[in-house]
């Protein structure tokens, strides 16, 4: 399978390992691969993203006396990985091509990364349910990408649905183009860094509506309104918008970009062997994306360590995995 994206981006170099996800699994893998001398790039969606990124307090991670926020813990881990030479590059992965010896990974902004191996550590925070009208108006007002589509809504009103760092960062970008932006938060809390919330609140064209659930996306040929329910007041109303950007999370493994190339269970959980390798040689997986029964940062980190050492074995042709001292 050869994927053509036609955006003219030429991959500059071939990495020893491309790690998808900068949570505890991906970042720990990067500490080990970079320290082991492997050219490592880590791709991630947003700074304070993923299960640990949205965790407000953690106090059971060994060696780090908390409570600290998940984002602070991740920052410490990422600094450690960077100190060994790992590159961290922001970019949502939307597609992969594992058909050749050199694996290809494509991000939403049209970049292409090439690697001899890949570790999938993208967690399990995808949505399971869709809104009424979401599929119908996809590409006709409904979007999952601010960078790609915000400019199409210049001087028009839009809604952005979400409650975390990723959603806020996207909303900030979209607000530069649109006339009005309704930021719809389903619950009472925004699980993001305070400074991001403040920055968005201070924008003149943004209205943050907490406890507002989307009921339906409506329109004719394109989106014309979003029907929302104010759950506190118990009232429903239509907001006139031309676009609806959706950045909500859930509990499904984040594996859409694998496009069925590796073996998975019926619940979209990646199947790996005892060395964390998937059904595709050279493609490994670690952390919550495996649907491990115990979802804890330390378990994800341990998975990341195992996957990294297995990558080293795969690339060097060693007979067995060797520990790193």
Ligand X SMILES: Cc1cc2nc3c(=O)[nH]c(=O)nc-3n(C[C@H](O)[C@H](O)[C@H](O)COP(=O)(O)OP(=O)(O)OC[C@H]3O[C@@H](n4cnc5c(N)ncnc54)[C@H](O)[C@@H]3O)c2cc1C
**What residues line the site for ligand X (CB under 6 A)?**
20-26, 43-46, 49-52, 55, 58, 60-61, 92-93, 121-123, 125, 254, 257, 287-289, 295-298, 300
Cβ of residue 207: shortest distance to ligand X, in angstroms? 27
* DSSP per position, 62-85: TT--S-B-HHHHHHHHHHHHHHTT
Nearer to ligand X by C-beta: 113 or 153? 113
What angle (nearest 5°) sits at the alpha carbon of residue 130, between those of residues 126 and 133? 145
Instruction: State both tokens at 322.
Output: 């060797």
Cβ of residue 16: shortest distance to ligand X, in angstroms? 19
With residues binned 3-state (H G I as helix, E B as strand, rest as coil), the percentages for the chain, rounded to 5, are 25, 30, 45
Nearer to ligand X by C-beta: 61 or 131? 61
Cβ of residue 74: shortest distance to ligand X, in angstroms? 8
Nearer to ligand X by C-beta: 163 or 178? 163
Nearer to ligand X by C-beta: 121 or 246? 121
- How far is residue 111's CA from residue 17's CA, in Å, rounded to a whole number? 16
Cβ of residue 28: shortest distance to ligand X, in angstroms? 8
Give burial (CB, 10 Å; 0-12/13-18/19+) of 178: buried
Nearer to ligand X by C-beta: 91 or 133? 91
Cβ of residue 239: shortest distance to ligand X, in angstroms? 28
Q: Where are the alpha helices (DSSP H) in the chain?
A: 24-35, 50-53, 70-83, 146-149, 165-175, 194-201, 297-316
């Amino acid at each position: 399978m050869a994927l053509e994206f036609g955006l003219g981006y030429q991959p500059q170099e071939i990495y020893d390992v491309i790690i998808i996800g900068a949570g505890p699994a991906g970042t720990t893998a990067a500490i080990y691969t970079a320290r082991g001398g492997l050219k490592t790039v880590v791709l991630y969606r947003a700074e304070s993203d993923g299960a640990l990124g949205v965790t407000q307090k953690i106090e059971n991670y060994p060696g780090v006396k908390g409570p600290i926020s998940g984002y602070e813990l991740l920052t410490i881990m990422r600094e450690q990985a960077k100190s060994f030479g790992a590159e961290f590059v922001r970019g949502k992965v939307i597609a992969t091509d594992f058909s050749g010896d050199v694996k290809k990974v494509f991000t939403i902004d049209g970049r292409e990364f090439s690697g001899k191996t890949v570790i999938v550590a993208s967690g399990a925070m995808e949505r399971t349910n869709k809104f009424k009208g979401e599929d119908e108006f996809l590409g006709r007002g409904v979007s999952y990408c601010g960078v790609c589509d915000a400019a199409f809504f210049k001087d028009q009103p839009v809604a952005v649905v979400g409650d975390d760092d990723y959603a806020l960062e996207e909303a900030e970008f979209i607000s530069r183009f649109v006339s009005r932006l309704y930021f719809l938060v389903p619950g009472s809390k925004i699980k993001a860094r305070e400074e991001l919330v403040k920055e968005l609140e201070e924008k003149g064209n943004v209205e943050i509506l907490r406890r507002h659930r989307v009921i339906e996306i409506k329109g004719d040929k394109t989106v014309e309104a979003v029907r929302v329910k104010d759950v506190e007041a118990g009232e429903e109303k239509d907001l006139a918008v031309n676009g609806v950007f959706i950045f909500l999370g859930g509990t499904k493994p984040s594996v859409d970009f694998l496009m069925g190339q590796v073996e998975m269970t019926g619940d979209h959980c990646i199947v790996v062997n005892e060395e964390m390798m998937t059904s595709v040689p050279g493609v490994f997986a670690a952390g919550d994306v495996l649907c491990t029964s115990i979802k804890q940062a330390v378990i994800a980190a341990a998975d990341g360590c195992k996957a990294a050492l297995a990558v080293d074995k795969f690339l060097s042709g060693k007979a067995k995995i060797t520990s790193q001292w």
